[in-house]
Amino acid sequence: MPAEQAGRSAWPPALALSGVALAMACLGFALRLPPGEWLAAAIDPRSDNIAQLIFHFSSLPRLVTAFLCGAGLSLAGLVFQQVLRNPLASPTTLGVSAGAQLALVAATIWAPALLLPGREVVALAGAAGVTSAVFAMAWARGFSSLTLILAGLVIGLACWALSTALKIVNQDYIAALFIWGAGSLAQQDWSVAATLLPRLLVLAGLILLLRRPLELLALDDEAPRALGVPVAALRILALALAVMLTSTIVAAVGIIGFLELAAPQIARLMGARRLASRLVITPLIGGSLLVLVDQIVQFASRGLAELLPTGAATALLGAPILLWLLPRLRPVGLPPSSPAPLAAGPARPATWFALVILLGLAVGLALLVGRDTDGFQLMHGDTLAAALPWRLPRIAVALAAGAMLAVAGVLLQRLTGNPMAGPEILGIGAGVGAGVVVAMLIATAPAPALVLGLSTAGALGVTAILLWTGWRARFAPEPLLITGLALSALLDAIVVLFLAMGDFRAAKLLMWISGATYFADGGAALTTAAIACAVIPATLAMARWLDILPLGATSAQALGVDLHRARLSIMVAAALLMAAAMLAVGPLSFVGLIAPHLARMQGLARARAQLVGAALIGALVMVGADWVGRTIIFPYELSAGLVAALIGMPYLVWQLSRGR
């Protein structure tokens, strides 16, 4: 009885939310068309009345599409959370939406004929591929909560990197792909709503038929098996339905994130405890939330709603909700477990020599070897002299930025005690990006000092929030990762909205996101190198703190460490390094995550040795990535940041796929 009462108690707040969303929609309709004409315009609009035509072919189908998409995504998120017994699982956190989007972008550019039978098939193939990869990575670690989320984040970031690379190579598609990819609900007829409605009804009906078996999945696997339930087959079937729901919606409107993560938890907090109640209330909440956000976007855009993607705006609402929910979320089932730290082997004297030689070879390769229409060429004499003014700044920027990202990664991992912390994973790159956008809004051509100052402030702000969250959660890995995910989505939404508004500087911002060193000149090289030379040696003075802090606050204080001073100093140094590096090579390279691990694998376990070793490895990776990017698909170029991300992703996949 208490559970049933709790289930019924969720209806009043859910219906109230739906009422608010409907009232907002009616207010928006009234501003465009008198209420007395709504019925006639909905049934048979007059061809000579523009307001009625817009109401019939744009406003109404947009409202219906928004509700259907929000309801479908929320239901998919609920299924993911129920099947995996993890309240942090969703199509966004597990990379399913990003996989569907990558498949659609690739098909749009390379094989548009594949889209003729239906976009859903292509999206489903991408989503299914990512889901399989994430589950294969998590299998070796017993489907732990952290591994699932981290695997989804890594695969999702890799898909995003590939999508960005495709957009850069195909400039004609950039604007349309960014608006669609960020979740555009703009409609010109009823075709999208008419396509979505029957498919979502069928998939939702199949999920409802699985209600009773799904309830058993909240228990340990032994209990359902004792009752004769085929647990593995049931999980695969339920997840397949959820993936189909997600891919159908992504194919129709692009990525709309966080509703599928937040709506099931909002339903639970409203009092819906039983699965039967949540299967109905969660879609109602998700659909109402998306309608509400879309109406706010239309009010705020003042006629530019066609260009402002609602999916990006949804993150502005969903990310704060997720941060608010985070302390209340409790994983069910398998306890969270973090990836085992890499064992540090004995330090080898040849390690330093090998790293320096490899870095020298990479610099020599980038400087002397190029490619033209006749193939690879070894440059010398006048040809080399002509190329030096172009190549030297790029090499210097890549080298300094790679070293700074690697050192920042060491600082973050030792500060948080989390071996999988990194500037890319924890959302710090998004803070840098938001700072760049703010600088562009302040000045048409912002000075480098303004850009660096605001991007540093963004990185420092994200780092401070992460530390505060970590302190409250005793630096457990799951809260840190989810906080980083929420902050990343929140701040990335600002960047996406700026890109979608059609500002003439959007192309330059896109180049920065991709980590391009194309426009590096002597001034940028000197600035980046100067910051690296000033800050990296300063971090060596923090080596004692960095050796002691992973032992815990109590041990650190007992050894005489001033925690506030130590943490603040490390935070400021990491933020400055990340801001300067990401301004040069973009926010997505994985160097800050993988270089500290690679240094540790070489036996560089103490903080001072790891800092220097990681800096050399980071510089090596970025210089090599810059050379590969400008030669692999000549005459086109891929940015160093994207190439480094695509190099780093296989390492992360391998690391996460390792058994216990």
pLDDT (mean) for 577-597: 82
Nearest to 129, CA basis, from 161, 157, 95: 95
Angle at 241 between CA 68 and CA 14, to 5 degrees: 40
In this structure, is residue 357 part of a structural domain?
A: no
Judge whether 470 and 416 are in contact, CB under 8 Å.
Answer: yes
Report the Cα 231 to chain-centroid distance in Å: 31
Q: What is the CATH number of the domain that holds 562?
A: 1.10.3470.10
> Is the same domain home to 239 and 265?
yes
Q: How far apart are CA 252 and CA 254, in angstroms?
A: 6
Domain-terminating residue out of 559, 587, 615: 587
Q: What are phi and psi of 376, to 5 degrees?
A: -70, 140
Contacts of 365 (CB under 8 A, 6+ apart): 624, 627
Residue 372 forms part of a structural domain:
no
b or e along 421-454 (b: 16 or more beta carbons within 10 Å of the residue's beta carbon)? Answer: bbbbbbbbbbbbbbbbbbbbeeeeebeeeebbeb
Instruction: Based on the fold, state whether residues 36 and 118 are members of the same structural domain.
Output: yes
Handedness of CA 240, 123, 169, 524 (dihedral sign): negative
**Distance (Å, whole) CA 25 – CA 31:** 10
Domain count, the chain: 3
- pLDDT value at residue 115: 78
Give the chain's mean pLDDT: 81
User: 488, exposed or middle or buried, with CB in 10 Å at 0-12, 13-18, 19+?
Assistant: buried
pTM as predicted: 0.73
What is the number of H-type helices and E-type strands within the chain?
29, 2
**Distance between CA atoms of residues 288 and 620, nearest Å:** 50
Q: pLDDT for 335-359, tens place per residue?
A: 333 333 434 445 567 888 899 999 9
Lowest mean pLDDT among 335-339, 342-346, 418-422, 483-487: 335-339
Average the pLDDT over 180-191 and give the result: 75
Asked whether residue 613 falls in the same domain as residue 508, the answer is no
Q: Where are the beta strands (DSSP E) in 420-495?
A: none
- The answer on pLDDT for 132 being more than 50 is yes
User: Can you tell me the mean pLDDT for 38-64?
Assistant: 92
Dump pLDDT digits (tens) for 514-564.
667 776 888 888 989 999 999 999 999 999 999 898 887 788 888 888 888
pLDDT tens, residue by residue, 366-395: 999 888 777 788 888 888 888 888 889 999
Count of Cβ atoms closer than 10 Å to residue 576 Cβ: 21
Residue whose pair of structure tokens reads 């004499």 in the numeric block: 381
**Domain presence at residue 362:** no
- 549/635 same-domain check: no
- At which of 587, 607, 632 does a domain end? 587
Q: 452-461: per-residue pLDDT in tens?
A: 888 888 888 8
The verdict on 555 and 617 lying in the same domain is no
- Tell me 376's DSSP state: E
Residue where a domain terminates, one of 312, 328, 344:
328
Residue 376 lies in a domain: no
Residues 75 and 114 in one domain: yes
For the ranges 6-10, 268-272, 320-324, 609-613, which has the lowest average pLDDT? 6-10
Q: How confident is the model at residue 405 (pLDDT cuts 50, 70, 90)?
A: very high
Contact predicate 484/426, CB 8 Å: yes
For residue 102, give the nearest of 144, 150, 62, 161 by alpha carbon.
Answer: 161
In this structure, the answer to whether residues 220 and 316 fall within a common structural domain is: yes
Evaluate whether residue 411 is within a structural domain.
Answer: no
Q: pLDDT tens across 102-114, in order?
A: 888 888 878 888 8
Q: E strand or H helix at 104, and its extent? A: helix 96-110
Q: State whether residue 369 is helix, strand or coil.
A: strand
The structure tokens listed for 630 are 């400008």
Q: Is residue 618 within 8 Å of 445, Cβ to Cβ? A: no
Specify whether 534 is located in the same domain as 597. no
- Domain assignment of residue 217, yes or no: yes
Among 168-177, 320-329, 333-342, 499-508, the range scoring the smallest mean pLDDT is 333-342
Residues 451 and 583 in one domain: yes
Does the pLDDT at position 308 exceed 80?
no
Percent of the chain exceeding pLDDT 70 equals 82
CB-based burial of residue 323 (10 Å sphere; 0-12 exposed, 13-18 middle, 19+ buried)? middle
Helix, strand or coil for residue 340?
coil
Nearest to 576 by CA among 454, 472, 659, 478: 454
What confidence category does residue 75 fall into, taking pLDDT thresholds of 50, 70 and 90?
Answer: very high
Q: Are residues 471 and 604 in the same domain?
A: no
Dump pLDDT digits (tens) for 626-639.
898 888 877 777 77
* Structural contact between residues 552 and 415, judged by C-beta atoms closer than 8 angstroms: no
pLDDT digits (tens, 9 = 90+) for 433-447: 888 888 888 888 888
Same domain, 551 and 612: no
> Do 236 and 275 have their domain in common?
yes
The answer to whether residue 381 is domain-embedded is: no
3 state SS of 423: coil
Span 165-176, average pLDDT: 60
**Within a domain: 338:** no
Nearest to 149 by CA among 158, 138, 136: 138
509: containing domain: 421-587
